[in-house]
A and B are shown apart, each in its own frame.
Chain A
Amino acid sequence: MEKRIGVYVCHCGFNIAGYLDVEKVAEFAGKLDSVVISRHYSYMCSDPGQDLIKQDIKELGLTHVLVCSCSPTMHLRTFREACQDAGLNPFHCDMATIRELCSWVHSHDPQLATEKAMRLVAEGVRRVSYSNPLEIKFAPVNPNTLIVGAGIAGIQAALEIAGSEHKVYLVEREPSIGGHMAQLDKTFPYLESAAEMLNPRMAEVASSEYIELMPYSEVVEVSGYIGNFHVKVKKKARFVDETKCNGCGECWEKCPVEVDSEFDLGIRKRKAIYTPFTGAVPNIPVIDRESCTHFQNGGCSTCEEVCPTKAIDFNQEDEIVELEIGAIVVSTGYDVFDPTPIYQYGYKRFDNVITSLEFERMVNNNDGNIVLKDGSTPQSVAIVHCVGSRDQNYHEYCSRVCCMYSLKYSQLIKEKTGAEVYQMYIDMRCFGKNQEEFYQQASEAGVRFIRGKVGQVTDITQEDEEKGKLIVVCEDSLLGSMIRVPVDLVILSVAMEPRADTDEVARVFLLGRTADGFFLERHPKLDPVGTMIDGVYAVGCCQGPKDIPDTVSQAIGAGARALALISKGKVEMEAATAYVDEEICSGCGYCEAVCAYSAVEVDPRTRIAKVNEAICKGCGACAVNCPSKAMQIKNFGPKQMLDMIDTATREYAGLAS
């Protein structure tokens, strides 16, 4: 059949037309083989732009369409849908990227940009002319959702989905759900108790018939694709039979071994058999085999002896549970920055230099008393902002919450001790609802604000009044002078940072990461909860520092995505998959070895490779590895590629001169 190709050059406002000669490009395209119409227009993606294409397909009987504009990740779908609306197979539509590859990168050389655009357009015309009509297939969606990480984000997402009566597996690495929020005392800016907000939600998770809680577990393997993930979860051995334990607490009361509580950051002790905090969900203890004497030398079996329900089982082993899942929400949270390497701030060197999270635990325990290491009440406190944040040596980013929680601390300290409070800040970032007002309140309450980065915290005194104090040395940038502030307690407002094992988690879920190490969202503006992997969403602080309201918003958003997927019940499959020329295939298995999606298998009987089209993403790894060219990608054949290269690199008379 005769090929009738339409070429459409987009101005993209000034983004393209401002840097290269769109008219010339269109004129050039019009002269290429098989091109029957070539146009340029201000915004091809707008409705009138799309209408141009539709009209030409109908009136000029176009068989192929090439749109020369932005990247295909941006708009290929838009234009293919337009073509489909006009009755053309969508795979006869393709794009040439003249914005990202020409106007943007060669903005200082319009002639070069124009010439390159012409070559890309010529190449694109060849590419699209080889295209075959493909059929879009759909795969069913498994209605179960997996949520990884049960902090406030994971809990919220789980409740959203369970609320519409769909099954959720909520996996949590720790023995209890709750996350960092469970460690917090009050929340800003309304000073509500974190526990009062969190506990009902934890209880709701525990009692929901749609949520299967998998505490003390980790996801070890994910395969499959959107709607049809296959997930392996390692349930770590608790050494306590969950079906028997009634959470009476006999075991941990009688356990003779005491170690530092991780939950309380060492401020309190816990036993070798323990729940991380009172009110843990599930309220079932675990045995820490590292510190348990039974596992060290077999000496002690106290817990087993005292347990009234005979729930202790020292022989329990880690177990792998396999799940079939439609959508995955990753909400693995953050770590707090360890300020020990910032030597000059004296953390770990001085008793009364503590981190903000330690302060939270201190206020939350001790009946809420704020005390120094020696048990006395501080007379003066310095809160040092941006410790590890906005600092090129540690994290360049702003952790978003420190200004506000520091203000909250000053309120609490003033209220409970009457101490003088100093805030050493760079910029006060109180940008949320009612936050500026909270800042005002603190100022009015007499909190001292000193704008400047702290140089050091020292115990070397220069004057009598400094004796026995910690001296915070700081440049007051508003006064333009160095000042020394003697205080009893220094609180370091430490940064939020990616989890130490983010790498591993990223690998398991195939997530991308930003330069800062947080998980990468699909689009910072328009898809802040999606990831590059369809069907996997990342929410909360694993995606970047944020406060509780923003985390909850995102979690609800991810819930929406999962629900939308489930209610639609099907997903579109990649159409441009790999296929095998069975005549040529020698069954060498190179393709099988390189397939990242496990989509290719060599039939052991016939020794011919087979492609599972449902899984294949059309990445092409198999095709380039195939020694006999038996494996190919639909619409990306070798002849086509060579022709494209040839076209892009050949001589054209008077190109862009």
Chain B
Amino acid sequence: MQDQAGIKASPSKPDVLIVGAGIAGMQAALEVADSGHQAYLLERLPSVGGHMLQFDKTFPTLDCASCIGTPKMSQVGSHKKIELLVCSEVEEVSGHAGDFRVRIRRNPTYVDISQCTGCGECEKVCPVSVPSEWDCGLADRKAAFRVFPQAVPNVYTIDKRGHPPCRAACPAGVNAQGYIALISAGKFREALEVLRRTMPFAGVCGRVCTHPCELECERGKVDKPIAIRALKRFMADRVLEEGTEKPEPITSTKEEKVAIIGSGPSGIACAYDLVREGYPVTVFEAAPEPGGLLRYGIPEYRLPNRVVDEEIGYVQALGVEIKTSTPVTSLEEIFNQGYQAIFLATGAAGSQKMGIPGEDSEGVFQALDFLRKVNSGDKVKLGTKVAVVGGGNAAIDTTRAAKRLGAREVALVYRRSRAEMPAAPEEIEAAEAENIEINILSAPVSVLTENGRVTGIQCIRMALGEPDASGRRRPIQIEGSEFEIEVDSVIMAIGQTVDKTKLPDKLEYTGWGTLAVDSVTLETNVDGVFAAGDVVSGPADVISVVAAGKQAAISIDRYLRGADMTEGRTETVERVREVDKTGVEKKPRQSMPVLEPDKRQGFAEVELGFDEEMAITEAKRCLNCGVCSECLACVSACDRNAIHHDMKVQHRDLEVGAIIVTTGYDVLDPTPIYQYGYKRFDNVLTSFELERLLNSTGPTEGQILLKDGSTPKSAVIIHCVGSRDKNYHEYCSRVCCMYGLKHAHQIREKTGAQVYQMYIDMRTYGKGYEEFYKRISDEGINFIRGKVAQVTDVAQTDEEKGKLIVVCEDTLLESMIRIPADMVILNVAMEPRPDAGEIAKVFGLQQDTDGFFSERHYKLDPIGTQTEGIFIAGCCQGPKDIQDSVAQAIGAAAKALAIVARGEVGTVEVEEVEAVAVGGD
């Protein structure tokens, strides 16, 4: 075929793409742009600069990296022929030399670059601090940040990793990380506002929420989850204490009136969302006070009525009208009053019956009736010995309420084991603390009566069989194990049902006796009527019914607008998967202060809530899983309206004639080299960390300090950590000897400390390098030839006490030596980027055995790759110093220019040549 092929000249695209904006990428871009061709300079981070700008001084001239780096950055930023594409990655490359098509993904920075002035107001108000990658974790940065002060482009970026686990776990999607971050910054009112973006029940959920968020909390993998519920309560209480201002009523912007039947948490949540959408909303409540089970189902010692009043009052103040003592029996009646949609949230207030003998005797109560009376302040004639049947929260509430009403002995009877009890574990514990007797694996068989009065309850012991439909193990009666408990009152708390008699007719029901609705839109069989909450799901926890009410609000809004009610509703939120927990110290979870059991008189609240100090301490334990908490403090701080938290990934396609890959290197993490003690000893640091300490813009403003803030008197620099080592990298990293010398000089200059260099071979091979070696030797640095065996804190002599001891073979003396030092610096290897494999795939590059990108020919084409038109330069091709990187980058620009400047490329024509994809599988 070859001999039939002709050379065909095809036009070349004039532009060049450079991937990676470290010193190599910047240099290549400037070369290309200076010759009049358009250069696209793509960088994954928010700023150009790369590793070089992290350094303090450069060897061997000791001129500062900033002095030579920032002008380059500045030039790159202002060059008319360079377009910077920061926070971007290349997804796909197709085509051939002279005519590549490149698909670029621009990751959202949530800041409009064209509007941002770099003023830093967002950073000031951002409550989230995370370890700064730029400072190697030695200092913190905010979630709204600028990589470093001289960043180009000089704009801020918001680091958002996705939904934190707590938020993803919340059925209602409450942004817990958001308010926790603000609490940690002492901004309690702002914190409450974050919660109120989702729902009005901070005080309610801060007390009774089943907190699925805490189960998912990543902090739980370190020690204990954040006390999210307690923090929620704290901010609600705190703001209530300080005095809340009534919110401005929301002016209705819409004409369609919505009726909500039932003022429980589901109905109020729905009303809250709809009123904020601008709908006129009326809530119809049969009871004399609003709140549903919040008010009538949960005893005051757990949820005081004033909290319910406050939070429902807030919703009313926004403009929601609540008509109490107004039962609704007919849907037509409501529609006739001009309402265009109805939301049924009437709950499940009916009680289930056990169907055992004696159940209807005097002295047998239904839990909900009992609690309603207790919460309404009505008199209840209860005996002194009470048995409560059931294992849910209502059952526990009932036992504790009974105790408070004066019952001396209260026993709980539950047919399964403790593990199957639906009640919250902390509730069960609290009940036990109040001397409630808990009888598990016991089922009542009959209520014993004498003269129509209860005298006891007969039970039978149960064993657990195979799991049933609910997934819990089915209880089986043990024949002949009957026993009796002597009581004078029995309270049945075995379940709630929907009371169909109190609902309008025409509605359809499920086999479970709950209302039948569309699972996504929550529509009932009657047009314009929606239902959710307990009436649909059966008894559920507060946060679930709040979530259901919010979903109903979405449906109703769409219904009234005539929009598609299903679109986008089934998408699940993707939670942040990887949360880096390295170096997180264990800190105890703040425990909730409670009223001592013997002081629990009447219905005073048992849990007392955190004080300010506890709350802030607890909030500071948050790992900030999503980094940005979406508290939106930055949005209000930004004068230029530059921040948009809803920014999405954008794609852009470029056509270029040539591509230069300058994606750089990573530094080796020496933690696996256990014997060197990195991360185990405070004052063992990597050479990179030392660079940041030395840098005047670094965490110590250029001072070399030990962890305790003192100045080291002696320092050991260990060469070849991870380099020239078969266990890690066999290759030499080329630069460590020289920067080791530079560091020795700087340490000596800044602290006067004794400095030791433990080396294998001194590789000072560049221009002026040997002379530098000589100069540093003359400065009184100690050179010890030998590989370090270990760094230990086990002292053998007095002078070693409190020091790190570097144990090393001095190969010139042929003996083992021990050097006590205050600080140990590990000259860590340069290694390929962890995602070098993926990058190689995208660009059709090959990797050598070390993982660096392969050049086309080691000697004669150190810049070309196996793919024509794609060139490599800098440390992505192998370790090298700045000058070699720059030289290579200039070369790569030459190669790229040779293609684009000619204006055409010769392609071998073999019949019809299709554009060949260079990347992909």
Contact = CB atoms under 8 A, between A and B. Distances in A.
Contact of A563 (B66, B883, B886, B897): B897
Q: How large is the interface on B (under 10, 10 to 19, 20 to 34, 35 or more residues)?
A: 35 or more
Given A47-B150, A165-B902, A567 B35 contact: yes
Contacts of A48: 118, 149-150, 154
B888 interface: yes
A165 B74 CA distance: 33
B71 A75 contact: yes
Q: Is the interface of B mostly helix, strand, loop or mixed?
A: loop
A107 to B, nearest CB: 10
Contact of B149 (A14, A42, A156): A42
B60 to A, nearest CB: 8
A643 to B, nearest CB: 31
B730 A553 contact: no
B395 interface: no
A434 B731 contact: yes
A190 B854 CA distance: 14
A556 B883 contact: no
A653 interface: no
Given A15-B67, A47-B74, A557 B890 contact: yes
A436 B37 contact: no
A305 interface: no
A398 B852 contact: no
A557 B887 CA distance: 6
Interface in B801-817: 811-814
Contact of B761 (A18, A427, A477): A427
B687 interface: no
Contact of B813 (A201, A480, A553): A480
Q: How large is the interface on A (under 10, 10 to 19, 20 to 34, 35 or more residues)?
A: 35 or more
B884 interface: yes
Contacts of A557: 887-891, 894
B884 A550 contact: yes
A432 B734 contact: yes
Given A15-B67, A45-B71, A556-B863, A525 B154 contact: no
Contact of B765 (A197, A400, A568): A400
Interface in A314-372: none
Nearest to A181: B859
B858 A433 contact: yes
Contacts of A529: 887, 890
A657 interface: no
B150 A43 contact: yes
Contact of B894 (A78, A165, A397, A559): A559
A554 interface: yes
B27 interface: yes
B359 to A, nearest CB: 79
A440 interface: yes
B64 A13 contact: yes
Interface in B852-890: 852, 857-863, 877-878, 882-884, 886-890
B27 A526 contact: yes
Contact of A431 (B118, B153, B734): B734
Residue from A42, A428, A433, A563 whose CB has the most chain B CB atoms within 10 Å: A433
B781 interface: no
B887 A524 contact: no
Given A431-B734, A525-B883, A13 B66 contact: yes
Contact of B34 (A13, A558, A568): A568
Contact of A78 (B74, B723, B888, B890): B74
B765 A431 contact: yes
A261 B857 CA distance: 32
B604 interface: no
B696 A552 contact: no
A43 B32 CA distance: 27
B696 A45 contact: no
B863 A553 contact: yes
A46 B149 contact: yes
A1 interface: no
A197 B860 contact: yes
Interface in A16-59: 18, 42-43, 45-48, 50
Contacts of A15: 64, 67, 696
A390 B887 contact: no
Contact of B887 (A47, A548, A550): A550
Contacts of B766: 398, 400, 544
A81 interface: yes
> Which 4 residue pairs spanning A and B have beta carbons closest together?
A560-B894, A556-B891, A557-B890, A564-B35
6 contacts: A45-B67, A78-B74, A398-B769, A427-B761, A436-B732, A553-B891
Interface of A: 12-15, 18, 42-43, 45-48, 50, 70, 74-75, 78, 81, 85, 156, 160, 163-165, 187, 190, 192, 197, 201, 390, 396-398, 400, 427-437, 440, 451, 477-480, 514-516, 518, 521, 523-529, 543-544, 548-550, 552-561, 563-565, 567-569
